[in-house]
Amino acid sequence: MHPNRILAAAAAGAVAAAMLAWGPQAAAEAPEADEPRYRADQIAQVEPAGVDLEAGGAHTVAHPGAAFIKARFDRVRLGERDAITVTGRSETWTYGAGDVDGAGLRALSVEGDTAEVALHDDPSDGTAATARLAAYSRGLNEDELASRPPAWEAGPESICGGDDSVHAACYRETDPAVYETSRAVARLIIDDESYCTGWIAGDNRLLTNHHCFSTQDEVSTVEVQFGYQCLECVGGEIAAPVKVAGASVLTTDFTYDYTLFTVADWAAIAHLPRLPISAERVQAGDKVYLAGHPGGGPLRIAAASDSEPDWTGAQCQVHDPAADGHGRGTDLGYLCDSEGGSSGSPLVDRVTGEVVGLHHFGGCPNQAVRMDLVYPLIEPYLVYGG
């Protein structure tokens, strides 16, 4: 998709509206209270809609308490002057004929529990615009997220001892270099329901795990969100993220568990830092940290661990510089805390600021694929300064 990002208030002048809401009937069909309603790897739930849009009208999609609304359309036919808009409380996404994939279209999410979708037809282009709101994904609220099965079921990652990770905002003043690194890290929403972490490795080059997604069909379902983080160290209010859609898979590998991909609207995130990648082999004892989105939540940084020996000062360090992963000796082992959703996080050298590992699973020690092995494979695809 190549959406135009327009920040605006809800469009005025709608001549019709229809409400889609998750009401008592749906609630009655929910599982028993002692049965998890959601998978451990879910951040959202797709709900059916099946509403034919009428040009000039507007339809409101509401799900009380939802964290966000993300619309899917099918039966889409747009002329060169036609458009579909999706408006939330503080953002509007506009899509034209070039954004349609076959007869389908996936919109980026809008924050909050209500969205207005509208079909705009300009008869002068000779095409009668059509579209159907096929479904929408609604972000799970805090209670629903808390009701999921344990986080370890979402992915092979571990908290070692107590959770010593902190909100990224905690480093904004105390260690600006670490905070600046975290600005390159994104929450990924995959197929409108599940989640991983990714980061900027070069100009319109982003890296995540192969096990998060690996195909062109999958990357077309990915929403990439930067700046999804708490405004304060103590938590609380979350910043409005910058959102772009996945575009193309450039290269991917199972053994080294990486996927290098592009996004559709690079200009929207080109101001963010690119993380330097180390081509050097890491040594035992090197100090490292993780920046990612454990549990699909706001950005956190794990730089210390209560499981480290006392003499290290509790800073995370590499314990095994050649651990077995999907291949022999392909990984680094460390005790930085992680959870499902941390997959794809950069493991960064505390001294050099370079990415030395691509986090992918746990077990205390947790493990990242060695970037000195990954770099030669992705280097031909990397672009800087373009």
Instruction: List, in order of start, the domains of the chain with CATH numbers.
Output: 4-146 (2.60.120), 151-386 (2.40.10.120)
What is residue 33's predicted lDDT score, i.e. its pLDDT?
Answer: 53
Mean pLDDT value across residues 335-347: 88
CA separation, residue 325 to residues 151, 169, 267, 314, 333 (Å): 21, 32, 36, 25, 10
| Of 344, 324, 345, 333, the residue nearest 283 (C-alpha) | 333
SS3 state at 381 = helix
Q: How does pLDDT run across 156-173, given as a tens digit for each residue?
A: 567 787 778 899 999 999
139 touches 68 (CB < 8 A): yes
What is residue 40's predicted lDDT score, i.e. its pLDDT?
Answer: 84
What is residue 11's predicted lDDT score, i.e. its pLDDT?
Answer: 33
Share of the chain above pLDDT 70, in %: 87
Comparison of pLDDT for 20 and 91, the residue scoring more: 91
pLDDT at position 28 over 70: no
**Sign of the Cα pseudo-torsion (23, 113, 91, 48, in order):** negative
What is residue 146's predicted lDDT score, i.e. its pLDDT?
Answer: 87
Those residues with Cβ within 8 angstroms of residue 352's Cβ, 6 or more apart along the chain or in another chain: 278
pLDDT at position 309 over 80: no
Mean pLDDT value across residues 54-78: 96
Mean pLDDT value across residues 22-38: 51
Comparison of pLDDT for 318 and 7, the residue scoring more: 318
Mean pLDDT value across residues 231-238: 94
Residue 316 corresponds to which amino acid? C
| Of 221, 13, 4, the residue nearest 96 (C-alpha) | 4
pLDDT at position 9 over 90: no
What is residue 155's predicted lDDT score, i.e. its pLDDT?
Answer: 52
* 63: its two tokens: 């799900």
Alpha carbons 164 and 182: distance in angstroms, whole number: 17
* 325: its two tokens: 């992963």
Those residues with Cβ within 8 angstroms of residue 176's Cβ, 6 or more apart along the chain or in another chain: none
What is residue 338's predicted lDDT score, i.e. its pLDDT?
Answer: 84
| Of 253, 257, 258, 159, the residue nearest 205 (C-alpha) | 258
pLDDT at position 241 over 90: yes
What is residue 19's predicted lDDT score, i.e. its pLDDT?
Answer: 39
Mean pLDDT value across residues 188-215: 97
pLDDT at position 63 over 90: yes
Comparison of pLDDT for 57 and 260, the residue scoring more: 260
What is residue 76's predicted lDDT score, i.e. its pLDDT?
Answer: 97
Comparison of pLDDT for 271 and 29, the residue scoring more: 271
Average pLDDT, the chain: 88
| Of 217, 179, 182, 185, the residue nearest 198 (C-alpha) | 185
pLDDT at position 154 over 50: no
- Apex 212 CA angle, 315 and 318, nearest 5: 20
What is residue 152's predicted lDDT score, i.e. its pLDDT?
Answer: 52
Q: What sections of 186-290 are H helices per DSSP?
A: 216-219
pLDDT at position 13 over 90: no
Give the pLDDT band (50/70/90) at residue 20: very low
* 281: its two tokens: 């082999």
94 touches 6 (CB < 8 A): yes
Share of the chain above pLDDT 90, in %: 75
Alpha carbons 305 and 294: distance in angstroms, whole number: 16
Comparison of pLDDT for 25 and 294, the residue scoring more: 294
What is residue 151's predicted lDDT score, i.e. its pLDDT?
Answer: 57
Peptide bond into 365 cis (omega under 30): yes
What is residue 160's predicted lDDT score, i.e. its pLDDT?
Answer: 81
